[in-house]
Amino acid sequence: MPHCPKCGVTLKKDDKFCYACGTPVAKVVEEEFSVSADNLIEKVKELLHEGNVTRIIVKDEKGKVLLEIPVTVGVIGVVLAPWLAALGVIAALATNCTVVVERRE
């Protein structure tokens, strides 16, 4: 489900404006990647450097959400450190993960 870039409210896929704050909402495209736990952190870092990613969701083999990272423009360094530490813990516990990436067109 897409989220409002301004207030974070969950929106319907067809919404063009946020019902809570009125902000125009760009079309969001989802992609899924299946990665091993060994490559999880590298894949997330690669996605963060692409720039057009708005949200990264990490799921286990059963589809349970393990971590959801909201990505905003200008997120760098110290702000990402706790997320990457959490990814390290997930990588230690899970064998295979699915990474869902939301991108704005």
Does residue 54 fall inside a structural domain? Answer: yes
14, part of any domain = no
CB-hemisphere CA count at 13 Å for 81? 3
Q: How confident is the model at residue 80 (pLDDT cuts 50, 70, 90)?
A: low
> Based on the structure, what is the number of domains in the chain?
1
Q: Classify residue 4: in a domain, yes or no.
A: no
**Domain containing residue 74: CATH number:** 3.30.1490
Element (DSSP H or E) covering residue 36: strand 28-36
The tens digit of pLDDT for each residue in 1-55 reads 677 877 878 888 778 888 889 888 877 788 898 888 778 878 888 887 777 787 8
Is the whole model's pTM more than 0.95, yes or no?
no
Q: Which domain holds residue 46?
A: 28-104
In this prediction, residue 72 carries a pLDDT of: 64
CA neighbor of 2 nearest in space, from 23, 28, 40, 32: 28
Q: Place 74 in a pLDDT band, splitting at 50, 70 and 90.
A: very low
Look at residue 78 in the predicted model and tell me its pLDDT. Answer: 45
Lowest mean pLDDT among 53-57, 65-69, 74-78: 74-78
Question: Is 3 among the domain residues?
Answer: no
